[in-house]
Amino acid sequence: MKFSITWLRDHLETEAGLEEIVATLNRIGHEVEGVEDPAEKLAGFTVAKVLTADKHPDADKLQVLTVDTGEGDPLQVVCGAPNARAGMKGVLGLPGATVPSNGMELRKSAIRGVESNGMMCSVRELELGEEHDGIIELPEDAPVGHSFADYHGSSPVLDVAITPNRPDCMGVYGIARDLAAAGLGTLKPIAVPDFEAKGACPVEIRTDDPEGCPAFYGRVIKGVNNGPSPDWLQLRLKSAGQRPISLLVDLTNYVMLAYGRPAHAYDLAKLTGAVVARRAKNGEQVLALNEKTYTLDETMTVIADDAGVHDIAGIMGGEDSGVTDSTTDVLLEIAYFDPERIGVTGRKLGLASDARTRFERGVDPEFLETGLDLLTGLIVELAGGEASEMVKAGTPPQDKMVVDFEPALVQRLGGIDVEEADQLAILESLGFVATQTQVGPGAKTWRIEVPLRRHDVEGPADLVEEIVRNVGLDKVESVALPRVDGVARPTASPQQVLERKLRRTAAASGLHEAVTWSFLPTAEAEHFALRQAQGGRGKLWVLENPISEDMKAMRPSMLPGLLMAAKRDADRGAAGSGLFEIGRRYFRGKDGASDEKPTLGVVLVGEKTARGWASGKPQGYDAYDAKGVAEALLAAAGAPVDKLMVMGEAGDQFHPGQSGTLRLGPKNVLARFGALHPATLKAYDLDGPAMAVELFLDAIPAKKGRGSFARVAFAPPALQSITRDFAFLVPSDLAAGDLVRAIKGADKQAITDARVFDVFAGQGVPEGRKSVAVEVTLQPGEKSFKDEEIKAISDKVVAAAAKLGAELRG
């Protein structure tokens, strides 16, 4: 939520500066995410008066102005605005200032041969609005030479993160209340402008859906003049990121942003008959203010008249009954809607709004009458008109929660010793009402009545939180837990130790760790849920009550989130991305239970190496890079990499000819790797090839034995190893890894390693065959090998290879 310091001071009497306000907000749990000072953009712009305005000697549409800046001699400025004239006051950008709208730095220059010492500015150029037909015209009393930022009243703007459990602070007044309770000033009472209500409301207002809309208040104001809003109102809305529209619309937005109370204004001339809160009919449609048509069902609450639906209750008004510049009579509506109903409706329609955000978290049921009077008073004061009596249809929630609270809990639960009088003062400043009672001998308790706006307070622990955060979370001392004597036992589980090793290995390989959502859009989740290479037997886990449609399905793979992250990187100009993430995949297991599988995912997208004078064109990733990453990570995880089988069937998401799986036995898949299928790249809008790796950590066999603290020193062999080369003719479809594995098993005691160093097919090699050359390392034990021993080992190698259809080349 954004608001200016000026707006905050409308409701909080305080001498605190910006830094103290920011520090206090952070201290009491309202995290300040950013501070923006518009005055910084207006540095170098001053209030100036045009003394003379003469035609430019060499341009029909330009004028040469003499401008008084209040300091020294007048300056000469060339200006092309049609409204520039002698005697007017405007805003002059001096040399050195930067124009906010385009970032241009102003300098003394010559325009068509005439020297210009700055620029007279328009509203758009200073990003104060959209007007650009002429330069800004200031009132006669504007002080010449005064900083325009100070004259304009620009104030720092805070961006505060409000947690979902604090809807009472989704208005500036609620923030001011919390700051006052924290001792930063005094909360000002709400000032409702005086107005006289005359006559009964000419429109019948009622609620036919007491569950969805327990209370519906309204009144009519006739004879209003809907024009542009005054400057003070526009400035406050702009500080909140809102675009001023018209006085009536701006005032409803102002009441929402200032007091957390959404309201709506209807053009009375566009309504027919009674205005009713009711359930929608299946198939009813409404054209909303966002110019989109929504189809409704009977679970949704709407505001309608005899002609049809005019408002999706608590979410967005309708285009057909919205106010315009020509509106003269309005119906004001302030209601209390069931939060759960609003949330379900918003998710069904995929419709978000500021009103929905507040209603689905719970607005203050006690602010209905005051809110309507406040909005009415502001409209009558600024737009004129005559207000009718208020109509109250239904009854808002009135039962307040009462909590038995023991002051000693603050020390026991919060770890802070706070005087009882201070505890009571904090709670009362937040609107809680305390009555002291006695329960048992010497045990003092209070009965605390919770204000209806505090939906988050459900018990004594919540009251402790209120007291502790207003005293200051930084006041909670760090107290170490008691530690027993002796050597501390390791606290990390084997799974945690494994994940730490994998993180270090992946980072050392040049990959960047990503943390993505565990939730996905359904389409992306289904793309990776079909026929997985490992663990895909479970059904996709879809939430019934998701936070949004884009976070509806639990991820069945680590790759979708990483691919979306790589896409965002590419959209921001990254030439290549190497990302990894360790997390959980989720499936619906037996009897509807959640089935979670620990997994490591890797994506390699774009350039592996940039272009250069030596390398030439940039080099991309290929399937062998993915395989190398998979093997390195499996080795770090303790998997027997030398015993793994390379097989296909990586899954439909992978390219069938450039992917594979690493298995320990035919059925136990430890990882899948390779290039992604073109259809997968298209689904994620990725250009060019992309490689991926997925390690199934639950499939990696655990090490046997419990291990020991004893460390065995490494003792290198006493004798030097020797190598022998073998060249075999093998079937062309035989995997080289299978041949290497067979050779290693020919004599496990003497053969310590075997690797392929050449593969050839073509001239001199029979059709359907290929030549594979293997270097075999032999390690003698207590004495060197004799010739006959080496020959015996070689015969074993040839025999083992022959079982795979290989024959030694002559």
Residue 215: Cβ within 10 Å count: 21
DSSP class of 242: P
Instruction: Give yes or no for a contact between 136 and 92, defined as CB atoms under 8 angstroms apart.
Output: no
> Quick one: which of 303, 298, 295, 249 has its CA closest to 273?
303
Instruction: Give yes or no for a contact between 628 and 636, defined as CB atoms under 8 angstroms apart.
Output: no
> Quick one: which of 744, 802, 739, 747 has its CA closest to 772?
739
| 3-class DSSP state of 397 | coil
> Quick one: which of 686, 757, 771 has its CA closest to 724?
757
The dihedral built from the CA positions of residue 445, 164, 291 and 312, taken in this order, carries a sign that is negative
> Quick one: which of 474, 457, 453 has its CA closest to 466?
457
Torsions phi, psi of 585, nearest 5?
-100, 150
> Quick one: which of 140, 194, 174 has its CA closest to 379?
194
Token look-up 């006052």 returns 180
Single-letter residue type at 665: G
Coarse DSSP helix, strand, coil percentages of the chain, rounded to the nearest 5 percent: 30, 30, 45
> Quick one: which of 498, 672, 671, 515 has its CA closest to 579?
515
Plot region of 604 (φ>0 → left; ψ -120 to 50 → alpha; else → beta): beta
> Quick one: which of 445, 439, 475 has its CA closest to 460?
445
Two tokens, residue 464: 């402790």
Plot region of 805 (φ>0 → left; ψ -120 to 50 → alpha; else → beta): left
Torsions phi, psi of 98, nearest 5?
-110, 125
Q: Is 465 annotated as a binding residue?
A: yes
| Alpha-carbon gap, residue 205 to 388, rounded angstroms | 13
Q: Which residues contact 706 (CB under 8 A, 6 or more apart)?
A: none
Largest CA distance in the chain: 119
Two tokens, residue 392: 């109250």
Instruction: Give yes or no for a contact between 335 and 314, defined as CB atoms under 8 angstroms apart.
Output: yes
CA 69 to each of CA 90, 151, 627: distance values in angstroms, whole numbers, following the listed order: 10, 14, 71
| Alpha-carbon gap, residue 381 to 802, rounded angstroms | 99
Burial of 281 (0-12, 13-18, 19+ CB in 10 A): middle
| 3-class DSSP state of 485 | coil
Q: Is 20 annotated as a binding residue?
A: no
Exposed e or buried b per residue across 76-111, where buried means at least 16 C-beta atoms within 10 angstroms of its C-beta: bbbbebeebeeebbbbbbbeebbbbbeeeebeeeeb
Q: Is 297 annotated as a binding residue?
A: no
Q: What is the dihedral of CA 131, 135, 140, 142, to 10 degrees?
A: 90
Two tokens, residue 69: 């800046």
Q: Count the helices and strands in the chain (H runs, E runs).
A: 20, 42
Q: Which residues contact 520 (CB under 8 A, 6 or more apart)?
A: 550, 551, 552, 553, 554, 555, 560, 561
Token look-up 């060019």 returns 688
Facing residues of 53 across strands? 65
| Alpha-carbon gap, residue 216 to 187, rounded angstroms | 29
> Quick one: which of 583, 434, 591 has its CA closest to 517?
583
Instruction: Give yes or no for a contact between 637 and 695, defined as CB atoms under 8 angstroms apart.
Output: yes
Binding-site residues from annotation for Mg(2+): 456, 462, 465-466
Binding-site residues from annotation: 456, 462, 465-466
